[in-house]
Amino acid sequence: MNAASLPSPSGIYLFWNGALVVPAGSSGPPALLPLPAERAAELLARWGGASDDVFEAPSLDQGPPIHAALLSAEGAGGALLPPGWEALPVRGALASGCPGPAPDDADTLRMLRAFHLAVWRGESRFCGACGAPNKDSLSEYARVCTACGRLEFPRISPAVIILITNERDQILLAHNKSFAGGIYSLIAGFCEAGETAESAARREIREEAGLEVEELRYVRSQPWPFPNSLMLGFRAKCPRGEPRPDGVELDDARWFSRDALPSLPGASSIARALIGEWLASPQPQK
Ligand SMILES: [Zn+2]
């Protein structure tokens, strides 16, 4: 669909190289919003070759449809955005220590949906079974193979993240080797094929920290499209025991008290939301 033919989109998200394109020079917390349609059209025209890539997807919040495009890496004849624009890494904006919207903020969820679909569309151009080109399905939000008719839906990979408390009113936080700086977060990992979310949570805790937990219960979720996760947040109790980090993914895992927490993930992450809810809960009576 050409940008000019869109039914008056309220805004267009442009993504490039894992980042949301925003006007340069904006100050304060990052604005994870679509560009006004005219500004997006201007950049698309300068970029060249990508204007046909603006797609429309139904919103899930009864708001207007979502419009977005993934700018090609080689657009504009080089690897850099033209002057006046900057690329805000989507994951970094949510996971870094800077202030940001809550994980269930409606604007953030719209942007994450746009980002997830934009990346998926870029990776689903051809049928995974027979290799023929896919096209958009007219009946549901999916792609359909032009040769064999195979449907491909946006891929969503469930993952679990668990806030674990002990009898000393401490939580388990771990440092993953891939984390920037000294940031500590909760135990997390992907669900395997044929595994319940609860089993995945227990397995990840066992594998990464060498602990067994009880009273495991689901709390909340967050789309985390890096590349396509849905984070399922749990709480669990581990009355006693010392973590033994696996040394593979985690190089440190420790119990932390409320008044001595290390650097934590950003305010827009489910990890921070789970920790915030624990901090807001009353301390157990000794
Ligand atoms: Zn096919």
- Give percent of the chain with pLDDT exceeding 90: 56
107 and 178 co-located in one domain: no
* Residue range(s) defining the domain that contains residue 224: 157-280
- CA of residue 147 to ligand 1 center, whole Å: 5
pLDDT one-digit tens code per residue, 61-84: 888 999 999 887 665 545 567 788
Would 285 be classed as within a structural domain? no
55 and 118 co-located in one domain: yes
Would 203 be classed as within a structural domain? yes
- CA of residue 122 to ligand 1 center, whole Å: 17
17 and 38 co-located in one domain: yes
224 and 208 co-located in one domain: yes
- CA of residue 169 to ligand 1 center, whole Å: 54
Asked if pLDDT for residue 30 goes beyond 60, the answer is no
Would 286 be classed as within a structural domain? no
User: Cβ neighbours of residue 36 under 8 Å, at least 6 residues apart?
Assistant: 11
Q: What is the mean pLDDT of residues 28-53?
A: 76
Would 61 be classed as within a structural domain? yes
40 and 77 co-located in one domain: yes
Q: Report d(CA 222, CA 205) in Å as an integer.
A: 20
Surrounding ion ligand 1 within 5 Å at CB are 127, 129-130, 132, 145, 147-148, 150
Would 256 be classed as within a structural domain? yes
Banded pLDDT at 1 (limits 50, 70, 90): very low
What is the predicted pLDDT for the residue at 208? 93
132 and 99 co-located in one domain: no
137 and 198 co-located in one domain: no
For residue 268, give the CATH number of its domain.
3.90.79.10
51 and 85 co-located in one domain: yes
Quick one: 144 exposed, middle or buried, by C-beta within 10 A (0-12, 13-18, 19+)? middle
205 and 147 co-located in one domain: no
Asked if pLDDT for residue 142 goes beyond 90, the answer is yes
Would 52 be classed as within a structural domain? yes
Q: What is the mean pLDDT of residues 98-118?
A: 85
Q: What is the mean pLDDT of residues 195-203?
A: 98
Would 162 be classed as within a structural domain? yes
Asked if pLDDT for residue 201 goes beyond 60, the answer is yes
What is the predicted pLDDT for the residue at 96? 66
Q: Strands 214-224, 229-237: parallel, antiparallel or unpaired by DSSP?
A: antiparallel
Would 44 be classed as within a structural domain? yes
Quickly count: other Cβ atoms within 10 Å of residue 141's Cβ. Answer: 11
Q: Which residue reads 């990992």 in tokens?
A: 189
95 and 150 co-located in one domain: no
> Two tokens at 138?
């007219």
Mean pLDDT lowest among 89-98, 123-132, 232-241, 268-277: 89-98
Q: Which residue reads 């958009």 in tokens?
A: 136
Number of domains in the chain: 3
- Per the CB < 8 A criterion, the answer to whether 135 and 149 are in contact is no
Q: Report d(CA 260, CA 272) in Å as an integer.
A: 15
What is the predicted pLDDT for the residue at 3? 43
169 and 197 co-located in one domain: yes
Q: Report d(CA 41, CA 174) in Å as an integer.
A: 44
- CA of residue 24 to ligand 1 center, whole Å: 42
Q: Which residue has the higher pLDDT, 13 or 284?
A: 13
175 and 236 co-located in one domain: yes
